[in-house]
Amino acid sequence: MADSSALVLFSGGQDSTVCLAWALNRFDRVETVGFSYGQRHNVELEQRRIVREKLSKLAPSGHTLGDDTVLDLPALQSISDTALTRETEITFAATGLPTTFVPGRNLLFLTYAAALGYRRGIATLVGGMCETDFSGYPDCRNDTIQAMAQALSLGLASPVTIETPLMFIDKAQTWELAAKLGGDELIQIILEDTHTCYMGDRSHRHPWGYGCGTCPACDLRAKGWAEWQARTRDAAAAGA
């Protein structure tokens, strides 16, 4: 491969951590980009630094974790602070998404990541978008992502590829992929250090990691973990 480098959209959550491990297994040079937009909890940005450091030690030889860039996107805060109209409030409640959710957020992230990649000489972006779990996020769907890659390639007059290793797998399979990529060491990093909880809760430790245990992100993570554990038990029983 002529250009064996990738830029991973890395938040420090479970999904982007698995994506980073995936990229480190596949590309010689991997860089990361994160976005700071006044997240209610700085815990996300803090955990991301810790996870990154630990993952760099897990990288196969010859593969290096390079620079990290955190881009400040305060405009996202203004959008998420803008009150919803009555009608959208009802639609929003039905999706189970937090009201701070920013519509089209992934499109903005990808645009900034592609622009940064252009400057850094990296044409491949890696993101944890997944259309299996969050049917409420239209900007996570494969059609959207592929159309975005095409728009970015045209707009930059330079081919942009967007890899989404989690697109068609569920949360249980994400744990399975993590185990395949980094064994128990990676599983432990995900459990102890990655942060997914919408509430920024890191005081409650569950079998699946830290979080409030009740927000949609915690719920999804807990269900995925339980399902993976059950599948692993069934497979062991079948093999015994």
> Which residues are at the interface with Zn ion (CB under 5 A)?
197, 199, 211-212, 215, 218
In the complex, least distance from residue 184 CB atom to Zn ion, rounded to whole angstroms: 25
In the complex, least distance from residue 209 CB atom to Zn ion, rounded to whole angstroms: 10
Q: Which is nearer to Zn ion, 125 or 197 (CB)?
A: 197
Q: Which is nearer to Zn ion, 39 or 142 (CB)?
A: 39
Dist CA 196 CA 215 (whole Å)? 10
Q: Which is nearer to Zn ion, 182 or 209 (CB)?
A: 209
Q: Which is nearer to Zn ion, 211 or 224 (CB)?
A: 211
In the complex, least distance from residue 225 CB atom to Zn ion, rounded to whole angstroms: 13
Q: What angle do CA 140, 194, 107 make, to 5 degrees?
A: 20
In the complex, least distance from residue 64 CB atom to Zn ion, rounded to whole angstroms: 34
Q: Which is nearer to Zn ion, 58 or 222 (CB)?
A: 222
H or E element, residue 193: helix 171-193
Q: Which is nearer to Zn ion, 115 or 199 (CB)?
A: 199
Beta bridge partners of 159: none
In the complex, least distance from residue 197 CB atom to Zn ion, rounded to whole angstroms: 3
47 and 195 Cβ atoms separated by less than 8 Å: yes
Q: Which residue has 């990541």 as its token pair?
A: 113
Output the DSSP codes for 77-116.
Answer: HHHHHSPPPHHHHHHHHHHT--TTPPTTHHHHHHHHHHHH
194 and 13 Cβ atoms separated by less than 8 Å: yes
In the complex, least distance from residue 62 CB atom to Zn ion, rounded to whole angstroms: 38
Dist CA 221 CA 205 (whole Å)? 13
Beta bridge partners of 92: none
In the complex, least distance from residue 153 CB atom to Zn ion, rounded to whole angstroms: 37
Q: Which is nearer to Zn ion, 79 or 220 (CB)?
A: 220
Cα separation values, 5 from 19, 32, 121, 234, Å: 14, 11, 9, 38
